[in-house]
Amino acid sequence: MATKATFWYHLMAIFTVVVWGTTFVSTKVLINYGLSPAEILLYRFTLAYVCIWFISPRKLFARSLKEELIFVAAGLSGGSLYFLTENTALGITLASNVSLIISTAPILTAFLSLLFFHKERLTSQLIYGSLIALTGVAFVVFNGSFILKINPLGDLLTLTAALMWAFYGIILRYLNNYPTLFVTRKVFFYGVVTLLPFFIFHPIKFDSEVLLKPVVLANLFFLGVVASMLCYILWTVTIKKLGMLRTTNYIYVIPMVTLLASSLVIHEHITLIALTGSVLILLGVYMAERRSK
């Protein structure tokens, strides 16, 4: 139960995952307007970087080359690789599918923490919870691949994105001694830098007519300023204050938000199998993450 001292951090975590739950739908809207996954990420992170530059410390580099490389890894895992796999998946499969599978990130984070931080202990609760959640993922993948005739590549890409986010959570623990705004700005910077080589093989198609459409501008502003700059700051703060496992536990809220948003905004059909899978995923994540309290 949250104390008065931690109440606001729990509230920040809830706000963040609710916003992130709607980003799947917002990204899907931009994809439907012809923007590629890489273009969406470039515009999103560039906007976030420009905005955060005005409020973050003017320091440019980390204290050592090793820690600078850790920032590069953070930009890769929490930036370019995560969003390329997630956004590409959104162009292939349902937004609800993506958010449901992404909800396995807390379980993956817990297992990685066992690997990197030996103080963590593997419990039966974690094992059973993981198996239940992975069963739920199988339900979602089966539903998308065979009933809705969606390419299963989208589901595999989403699992990769979940793994990248888990690595991002681990990496942030090595950067606790840096100011939150500095960490967030560096993540955006290296997220953009590590994305640029992708455009050598897939050149960006700048279409001013599409970009100036009010619905496109509104969604890019939401993704760049609210979902990226603001929410990345809040997420980093909550990880520092509540701990990695307690914070990532809130990711289980995302599927419920996305299921509702995708149904209301882009009219995706939610089947009984998808709902069953979502219940199993949420139950498994809850069981597994109780060990972190």
Taking only the tens place, the pLDDT of each residue in 84-118 is 898 888 778 776 677 777 878 888 888 888 787 76
| DSSP string across 190-229 | HHHHTTTTHHHHS-----HHHHTSHHHHHHHHIIIIIIII
| 248-274 tens-digit pLDDT | 777 877 777 776 776 776 666 667 777
Q: Is 173 helix (H, G, I), strand (E, B) or coil?
A: helix
Q: CB within 8 A of 274, min separation 6: which ones?
A: 94, 96, 97, 100, 139, 140, 143, 259
Cα 250 to Cα 103: distance, rounded to the nearest angstrom: 9
Q: What is the mean pLDDT of the chain?
A: 82
**Average confidence (pLDDT) over 208-237:** 93
Cα 111 to Cα 130: distance, rounded to the nearest angstrom: 10
